[in-house]
Structure 1
Amino acid sequence: MTILMHEPTEELFLGVIHPDAALFADYFNVDQASREHRNYRKALTEAGARVLTVREVLLDGTLDGEGNAVEGPALDALRTFAGEFLVYNTDAIPAQRDAQRAYKEEVLRKANPKDLLRIILLQPEVVLSHTEGNTGFAATYRQRPMMNLFYMRDQMIATFKGLVIARMHSPQREVESRVAEFCLNKIGMPPIGRISGEGAYLEGGDFLPFGSSAFIGCGLRTTQKAIDQLMENDWLGTDRLMVVRDNWLEQEQMHLDTYFNCIDRDLVTLSANRYKAGPDSSQYLTVDVYERKDGRYSRTVEGACFVDFLEKTLGVKVIPISRPDELNYANNYLTIGPRRIMAVAGQSQELQQALAAHGVDVTWIPLPNLTRGYGAAHCMTQILGTEEVF
């Protein structure tokens, strides 16, 4: 199993000083968050996974053992890519536009690969003005840091056919898909498709493979237009797609993987508020089922009660997740094999006992800082393979 992740570092800082604008739940400690991420990656490696990071992929082939730049195609590609994220704003000195464009290229040619990486993650803008004397220029500086990039689940989905680049619903996150696509191309796993078009939004936290089938959430972050694109282009590689319809549209349960997840073909978890909700509640979930025949999908089930569908049609056991455990991201675990999960530490004894009673092998991961970004163990990982996990 190969997993792509991104260790958050300095690009988090502007986000934690205004969490709401960064799509975070609360302030958290940047250095401790980085440490938690490293520990999580270590646990995944010990569990048998091959873990790649965005930083490693971007820098691969660009540095020697002493940290010096290595000229070649990898560095050329990184320079070109970094140039897309560095802005020299010459609005106040339009006569300098061509000269500054050339100056930017000169700086990029000289930049160490690690500084090119910083350019990508921070998206700096240099707002130039003219001064008398000195160098003739002054500037103010702006950044648009990719503070949510460490939630690597959302920029793509891994279907049974390959990787599809998502289209993020939040404008501050849309650029992350470009980084994901660059990484995939560099490691030799080019995406098979990309979601596009007005009203078509897809985020990876809404997609959950289930054996040889798949669930996909349709709600706050993923739209039916994007789901239709997946089916029309035959990018899914499954004969059955189960669309979970969420009308609550609340940030705390923004993606399918925040209130529902799958441990095995006969065992899932679901937040108690969804499990208990009746048809008159906005928290009530329904499911549509699409079946593929002769290369085309058609809807065979519409508006069925999701809980009944799970328990009666699929015959799976549902473990309800209590409100306190849900707030500690109990549903946001990563399944790495049948009944093997990596989950957020600190869950209730009741939940721990329920998982043990069903033979679930759990590795508990402490993530007290990283979860304040509105995500956890599942959100931070992207499994790159197309094989079934269980």
Structure 2
Amino acid sequence: MHEPTEELFLGVIHPDAALFADYFNVDQASREHRNYRKALTEAGARVLTVREVLLDGTLDGEGNAVEGPALDALRTFAGEFLVYNTDAIPAQRDAQRAYKEEVLRKANPKDLLRIILLQPEVVLSHTEGNTGFAATYRQRPMMNLFYMRDQMIATFKGLVIARMHSPQREVESRVAEFCLNKIGMPPIGRISGEGAYLEGGDFLPFGSSAFIGCGLRTTQKAIDQLMENDWLGTDRLMVVRDNWLEQEQMHLDTYFNCIDRDLVTLSANRYKAGPDSSQYLTVDVYERKNGRYSRTVEGACFVDFLEKTLGVKVIPISRPDELNYANNYLTIGPRRIMAVAGQSQELQQALAAHGVDVTWIPLPNLTRGYGAAHCMTQILGTEEVF
């Protein structure tokens, strides 16, 4: 997980450009994230944050830098995100490259962390007096990094680095990969190539199988890579095809989710949609035999597949509850979920009637970034939860 702090600010002052739904309070968002992590810990989860992983082994108890391999690696990594722009003073290019390395050697690890999260660019110009230089400053903050679901997927074989569809977010996968390598869980693969995009919000393990959404953010080319490289570790992959392609339901986990092997939720607009509607969902099923996947079902009605083929109960999510991210819950065990607080009495009663143990998490600010409880977490190992 990643607790958002100062890197959010430029995003909330122009939400559309940041891929956010609306303005929200940065400090309150950080507080909500801390409270959510506390609830996860109390539920038995071990929670790692990006900040903790990046800084691990680089600071002593007084906050001073500790020289060693961890700090060396952090310095090198931070250097990839700090730009000294010398276009206006090309004769200074080599000198400024050396000066940048000097600054990085002196920087406290927490400032190296800020460099990574803010991606600053120092645009240099020459002056006659004082220090001889002036600058303007630009930032490309990682304002969506707190949605840690999307930079990777955790399959039954290991972790696969995703390829983000939005230019605002493409750099986040590099941070995720650095963290994975540091904690000794190197990824087994990385999505690459023209037209191949994968975001983790489209991937949902289901027992020993898995669902994956193909639509606005994840493409068939990426899904093919997962199968061709045998990165999934499952004998059945169910590809949910979305033709609506709307931002409000950008990922599979915004309109569909799994509570137990016989209980799922689905947005009502998808549940009720007929074949003539763009909101109608179909499913293709791929099965693995002798190490190769082949398609065994094509274009089936997703609702019928859930109810008749898989035999699961579907709880439709009303439009008001969907807009409050009712589908974007985190399943922590069979019929145990962490969900966004404030859902309707009807939904609360439906969940209770099916024996679902819900921990309600208040997230009024964080959800304005277009995500919720599921989006903000990434599991590091996939076992059958139910």
TM-score (normalised: structure 1): 0.99
Mapped to 2, the partners of 1:334 and 1:192 lie a distance apart of: 24
Which residue of 1 is the match for residue 202 of structure 2? 206
Query: Equivalent residue for 2:309?
Result: 313
Shift of 1:282: 0.1
Q: Distance in 2 between matches of 1:183 and 1:378?
A: 20
State the 1:389 CA deviation. Answer: 1.5
Task: Structure 2: state its 5+ residue gaps.
Answer: none
CA distance in 2 between counterparts of 1:369 and 1:388 reads: 32
Aligned to 1:159: 155
Runs of 4+ in 1 over 6 A off after TM superposition: none
Gaps of 5+ in 1: none
Q: Secondary structure at the match of 1:384?
A: coil
- Pair 1:29 & 2:25 matched: yes
The offset of 1:386, in angstroms, is: 2.2
CA-CA distance at 1:150 after TM superposition: 0.1
- Distance in structure 2 (CA, Å) of the matches to 1:158 and 1:134: 54
> Which of 337, 340, 343 in structure 2 is aligned with 1:344?
340
Q: Which whole-Å deviations, capped at 9, do the CAs of 1:338-390 have from their partners, x for residues lacking one?
A: 00000000000000000000000000000000000000000000011121111
Partners of 2:248 and 2:10 in 1: how far apart? 22
Cα distance in 2 for residues equivalent to 1:229 and 1:303: 20
Whole-Å Cα distance in 1 between the matches of residues 155 and 144 of structure 2?
Answer: 23
Deviations 1:266-306 (A, max 9, x none): 00000000000000000000000000000000000000000
Offset at residue 257 of structure 1 (A): 0.1
Structure 1: how far apart are the matches of 2:380 and 2:346?
A: 33
Tell me, in whole angstroms, the C-alpha distance in 2 between the residues paired with 1:24 and 1:31. 16
Residue 11 of structure 2 aligns to a residue whose secondary structure is helix
Question: In structure 2, the residue corresponding to 1:151 is in which secondary structure?
Answer: coil
CA distance in 1, matches of 2:178, 2:193: 21
Separation in structure 2 between the aligned mates of residue 132 and residue 289 of structure 1, nearest angstrom: 69
SS in structure 2 opposite 1:318?
Answer: strand
What is the CA–CA distance in structure 1 between the aligned matches of 2:185 and 2:348, rounded to whole Å? 37
Give the Å deviation of 1:265: 0.3
1:135 aligns with 2:131: yes
Aligned to 1:64: 60
Could you say what secondary structure the match of 2:168 adopts? helix
Alpha-carbon distance between aligned partners in 2 of 1:96 and 1:156, rounded to the nearest angstrom: 40
User: Which of 209, 225, 229 does residue 229 from structure 1 map onto?
Assistant: 225
Number of residue pairs aligned between Structure 1 and Structure 2: 386
Task: Report 1:326-345 matches (<5 A).
Answer: 326-345=322-341
Matches for 1:11-160 after TM superposition, within 5 Å? 11-160=7-156
Deviations 1:197-227 (A, max 9, x none): 0000000000000000000000000000000
1:87-146 CA deviation, whole Å, 9 max, x = no partner? 000000000000000000000000000000000000000000000010000000000000
2-side partners of 1:190 and 1:362: how far apart? 33
- Aligned match of 1:380 in 368, 372, 376? 376
Once the 2 structures are TM-superposed, how far is the Cα of residue 65 of structure 1 from its aligned partner?
Answer: 0.1
Distance 2:155 2:355 in 1: 27
Aligned to 1:51, the other structure's residue is in SS state coil
SS in 1 for 2:374: coil
SS in 2 for 1:216: strand
Aligned equivalents of 2:198, 2:343: Cα separation in 1: 30
Normalization by structure 2: what TM-score?
Answer: 1.00
Q: Deviation string for 1:313-355 (max 9, x for gaps)?
A: 0000000000000000000000001000000000000000000
2:167 and 2:290 map into 1 onto residues whose CA distance is: 38
Q: What is the rounded CA distance, in whole Å, between the counterparts of 2:335 and 2:47 in structure 1?
A: 20
SS where residue 237 of structure 1 aligns?
Answer: coil
Alignment partners' CA distance in 2, 1:265 and 1:281: 28
Equivalent residue of 1:50, what SS?
Answer: coil
Cα root mean square deviation, aligned: 0.3
1:299 matched to 2:295: yes
CA distance in structure 2 between the aligned counterparts of 1:147 and 1:121, rounded to whole angstroms: 8
Structural mapping, 1:212-291, within 5 Å: 212-291=208-287
Which secondary structure does the structure 2 equivalent of 1:227 belong to?
Answer: helix
- CA distance in 2: counterparts of 1:33 and 1:74, whole angstroms: 30
- Helix, strand or coil: the match of 1:304? strand
Deviations 1:6-49 (A, max 9, x none): 00000000000000000000000000000000000000000000
Superposition deviation, residue 169 in structure 1: 0.1
- Whole-Å Cα distance in 2 between the matches of residues 335 and 192 of structure 1? 24
CA distance in 1, matches of 2:53, 2:346: 41
Secondary structure of 2:47's aligned partner = strand
Output the CA distance in 1 between the equivalents of 2:384 and 2:159.
14
User: In the aligned structure 1, how far is the partner of 2:315 from the partner of 2:4?
Assistant: 32
- Residue by residue over 1:130-177, the C-alpha shift from the partner in whole angstroms, topping out at 9 and shown as x without a partner, is 000100000000000000000000000000000000000001100000
CA displacement 1:40-61 (0-9 Å, x = unmatched): 0000000000000000000000
Distance 2:71 2:294 in 1: 47
Deviations 1:164-198 (A, max 9, x none): 00000001100000000000000000000000000
Write the distance in 2 (CA, Å) between the matches of 1:375 and 1:33: 12
Partner Cα distance (1:255, 1:380) in 2? 13
SS in 2 for 1:270: strand
